[in-house]
Amino acid sequence: MPRPKVFVSRRIPEVGLNAISAECDVDLWPDRLPPPADELKKRAKDCDGLVSLLTDRIDGALLDSAPKLKVVSNYAVGFNNVDVPACTARGVCVGNTPGVLTDATADIAVTLLLTAARRIGESAADAKSGKWLTWEPLGWLGQDLTGRTLGIVGMGRIGFATAKRLHNGWDMKVLYTEQIPRPEAEREFDARRVELDELLRESDFVSVHVDLNSSTKGMFSSEQFAKMKRTAVFVNSARGPLVDQAALAETLRSGTIFAAGLDVTEPEPLPPDHELYKLPNCVIVPHIASATVETRNAMARLCANNLLAGVRGEPLPNWVNPEVADKRR
Ligand code: DGY
């Protein structure tokens, strides 16, 4: 029986690569930048499995040019880069890496919230550039966290972990939006499920944790920002296109809200001359929420397990489209 052929679209941690190489012939894209679309298509052509990243677009055209492909194992929890219905229609399994990056991502959401609330980026830059004059009673005034209201937009795993940190650590009241109630959040930190409008009006901090799809794209625009408090801090560690960035820039420039912290943007990378970088009340980090050694290793293990299960014809440990089971290739 020939070994399955797999294309891995970027170097992932050894622990994942070694597990895949033990059973498969691996073609590894060596560059720091993702393979261009036509190169991805070329490499995937004869493959049984594909390890993709959130920077790879997996669509019908790519799938049609890879008739042997059995599995797409996405090295991410988010899978908005994968056309899942197109995979399902062609009998291709899709895997992702939920759970293992929950804590690391919640840590970044809290970090951004604190950084933006306490003006860490701008004050540190000021100090470094020699503008630190003296201790000033009215200098660098930020926002307190303790006892304030946190609005979690999307109480999934990461929203829950973020709320838990801020409720237990800073005694914050928690409001949340979600399609169905989350009894665990209501029990553990007395969270209250509300409509988005109420959450925006009442919250001192708004942290976004929803998936990107056609109904959430652009869900934060001028209308939503206008409902927030002038002292509010907005944090996005989910996906860039959830936010209308021109509207956010205008919101921050005009002081409609206090500050924002972003781990994700549209596009990524955000061009260095983008207006959001010019705003002192906007802190941006380059999509690093899952970037810890332990988390990236755990993602690699899970990604490899999904891939291997896919090429073996077994159920994927984290299966995005289990409905494909009875018609998989
Ligand atoms: C994911 O896994 O979806 C993250 O955005 C990557 O850090």
Total residue length of the chain: 329
The reply to whether 88 and 181 lie within a common domain is: no
Q: Is the CB of 282 under 6 A from ligand 1?
A: no
Ligand 1 centroid from CA 140, angstroms? 32
How big is the CA angle at 328 (ends 322 and 329), to the nearest 5 degrees? 150
Ligand 1, closest atom to CA 239?
A: 5
Confidence of residue 19 (pLDDT cuts 50, 70, 90): very high
Q: What is the pLDDT of residue 100?
A: 98
Q: Does residue 157 carry a catalytic annotation? A: no
> Cβ of 88: how many Cβ atoms within 10 Å?
18
What percentage of the chain's residues is helix, strand, coil (to nearest 5)? 40, 15, 45
What is the CB-side half-sphere exposure of residue 119 using CA atoms within 13 A?
15
> pLDDT by residue (tens digit) across 258-308?
999 999 999 999 999 999 999 999 999 999 999 999 999 999 999 999 999
The reply to whether 64 and 184 lie within a common domain is: no
Q: Is the CB of 290 under 6 A from ligand 1?
A: yes
Which of 53, 210, 290, 295 for mutating ligand 1's site (highest number of atoms within 8 Å of CB)?
290
The reply to whether 78 and 59 lie within a common domain is: yes
Q: Is the CB of 289 under 6 A from ligand 1?
A: yes
Q: In CATH, what number is assigned to the domain containing residue 62?
A: 3.40.50.720
The reply to whether 9 and 144 lie within a common domain is: no
Nearest CA to ligand 1 atom 4: 76
Mean pLDDT for 214-232 is 98
Q: Does residue 239 carry a catalytic annotation? A: yes
Ligand 1 centroid from CA 78, angstroms? 6
The reply to whether 160 and 232 lie within a common domain is: yes
Number of domains the chain contains: 2
Q: What percent of the chain has pLDDT over 70?
A: 100
Q: State yes or no: pLDDT of 1 exceeds 90.
A: no
Structural domain containing residue 297: 5-100+293-327
Token output for 143: 């926002």
Q: Does residue 287 carry a catalytic annotation? A: yes
**Measured CA distances, 230 to 225, 233, 234, 245 (Å):** 9, 9, 11, 18
The reply to whether 261 and 177 lie within a common domain is: yes
Ligand 1, closest atom to CA 78?
A: 3
Q: Judge whether 32 and 18 are in contact, CB under 8 Å.
A: no
Question: What type of residue is 292?
Answer: T
> pLDDT by residue (tens digit) across 42-61?
999 999 999 999 999 999 99
Confidence of residue 77 (pLDDT cuts 50, 70, 90): very high
Ligand 1 centroid from CA 120, angstroms? 25
The reply to whether 272 and 307 lie within a common domain is: no
> pLDDT by residue (tens digit) across 225-238?
999 999 999 999 99
The reply to whether 121 and 245 lie within a common domain is: yes
Q: What is the pLDDT of residue 266?
A: 98
The reply to whether 302 and 262 lie within a common domain is: no
> pLDDT by residue (tens digit) across 136-153?
999 999 999 999 999 999
The reply to whether 20 and 141 lie within a common domain is: no
Q: What is the pLDDT of residue 200?
A: 99
The reply to whether 231 and 264 lie within a common domain is: yes
The reply to whether 120 and 260 lie within a common domain is: yes
